[in-house]
Each structure stands twice: as structure tokens, then as C-alpha cells.
Amino acid sequence: MIPDLDMLERRVAAMRDLPWPIPAVVLLAMTDEDLDHLEAASGTDRYWPTLNCVVARIEEAGGA
């Protein structure tokens, strides 16, 4: 598989697998790095703190 395509598929999966509805404006403000962190934390006890950190950072920056 092409490395860039694999990375893109993982980022899409991180968005698709969000555990609750997230406002579109927050999703649009997520960076590639945010999605990479969420994907890496998926299935671990770090997932919820990571998601909370991402959403809080976006909300504080006025992205939501």
C-alpha cells in the first residue's frame, strides 16, 4: 500500500470512529496531527483524554 494512502485511510478512520457526534466546525478544525494522535490512542486508556484535549484546544481557539 502507498504510505500516504495508508496514512490518509487511518485519519479518515479516526474521524469515522469518533464515539459521539462532534460538531462539524470542530471536525473541520482538526489537524492531521490531531487525527494521528486520536488514531494512535484508539483502543487505549489514552483515547478519551486525547479526544478531550483536541476538542478543548479547538474550542479555546474559537474553532467551535
Rounded CA-CA distance 7/43 in Å is: 18
pLDDT of residue 3: 66
| pLDDT tens string 2-45 | 668 889 999 999 998 888 888 889 999 999 999 999 999 999 99
Which pTM does this prediction carry?
Answer: 0.83
Burial 35-62 (b: 16+ CB within 10 A, else e): bebbbebeeeeebeebbeebbeebeeee
Report the C-alpha gap between 17 and 2 in whole angstroms.
Answer: 22
